[in-house]
Each structure stands twice: as C-alpha cells, then as structure tokens.
Amino acid sequence: MVVPAVEPSDETLAARAAVGDDSAFETIVQRYQARVFRLACRLTSDTDAPDVLQDTFLQVYRHLGSFRGDSQFSTWLYRIATNAALMHRRASNRRPSESLALEDYLPEFDADGVHKATPAELQIASRADELLDRQFLAGKARDVVARLPDLYREAFVLRDLEDMSTARVAQALGIEPAAVRQRVHRARLMLRGYLSELVGVKS
C-alpha cells in the first residue's frame, strides 16, 4: 500500500526556513506565489504586481524569525503583501485620480424608506457577467476596484475576492471584525451600484 506523503504545514515550513532551510522557503514561495500575485494585481495593478510580489517574499524571508504563530502563517503573509501593495500604491504615479464616492452608488429610497427601483432593476447587477462582454467587464472591474477608497479596497479584496474569513481579514489588517464588515459592506454597495450602471440601470 502506498501511503501518500503528508505535506508539511505552513507553520512547519516557516520554522524550518527561519533557521536557514532554503528548500522550506522555496516551498512557501511555490505554495503562495500565485495567490500573492493575484492579490497584488487586485490591490495595485498588473504593472506593479510583479514588484509587490518580489517585495512581499523578500519581506517574508527577512522576517521569518519574527513569525510567532499568533495567527495563521497565511494571514501573516497576507498582511505583509497588503502592506507592500499599499506602499507601492503610495509611491506610484499611476494611481487612479478619481476615487469612487459611496453616495453615487447607493440605492435610492422614497420618503417611506422603500426602494425606488423595480425588482428587475434592483436585480440587474447580478446578471452583469451574462449581459456584458467578458473582456469589457474584466477591464471595468479592475479599474473600479482600483478606484475604491484604500480602506474599502483592502478589506473587500481580502474578504470577498481572496475569500478570507472576516476574522482573518481583521487580523491581517489589524482592525476589529465590525470594521471589516462595515468596509466590505460599503465596497459591495459601491460595486453593486457600479455593475448596475454598467448594464445601463441606476438602482
């Protein structure tokens, strides 16, 4: 009987890499490079992402000795990657100049607090991927995520695009879970309204 090899945990690899085991560090890089690159693209741009990727793993390598296991290794790594992306955004002149304003994308209500739009109009954003050309939607989605206010973008990307739990996002960003929920909620409202407008309906 062949017993499948058990992959070492991230924490085991980190402990080995911290004492000079380069193959353990290489395994960490292999395990996370695609995810960190995707995160970097979503937090910065395709142009800046390769630099963010390099900076992230260099920082990981340099600070492995300070990883104490207070959070999952991946949460710690995502915190480093998010900070690296933020530094690149601040240093980059390619920052989109126009941030989205939440109030422009909120649903509208009448005096009794009832939605003004019809159910069909309110639901249309959920069909944006059916109704719009894939390439067109990809370009618009990248642009609009880049135009979210920084605080909302970080929380939304980690929680909703990288599919981390709210608790882990809170750890990665160093904020309370309630703050994560508030920021993600606002980002979702803005993006939902934006998708709706992309298909020609303000709702």
Give the binding site for another protein (CB under 8 A).
Answer: 22, 25, 29, 33-34, 37-38, 41-42, 46, 49-50, 53-54, 57-58, 61-62, 107, 109, 112-115, 117-126, 128-129, 134, 137-138, 140-142, 145, 156, 160-161, 163, 166, 181-182, 184-185, 188-189, 191-192, 195-196, 203
Nearer to another protein, 70 or 163 (CB): 163
Least Å distance, CB 150 to another protein, is: 17
Least Å distance, CB 86 to another protein, is: 18
Closest by Cα among 115, 121, 135 to 192 = 121
Least Å distance, CB 48 to another protein, is: 12
Nearer to another protein, 7 or 22 (CB): 22
Q: DSSP assignment, residue 158?
A: I
d(CA 23, CA 151): 36
Helix-helix angle 49-63:22-43, to 10 degrees? 140
Least Å distance, CB 134 to another protein, is: 8
Nearer to another protein, 70 or 108 (CB): 108
d(CA 195, CA 203): 10
Nearer to another protein, 91 or 136 (CB): 136
Rg (the chain; Cα; Å): 20
Least Å distance, CB 51 to another protein, is: 10
Contacts of 43 (CB under 8 A, 6+ apart): 52, 81, 82, 85, 86, 89, 153, 154, 157
Nearer to another protein, 30 or 97 (CB): 30
Q: Identify the helix (H) or strand (E) that includes residue 177.
A: helix 177-198
Structure tokens at 196: 């709706």
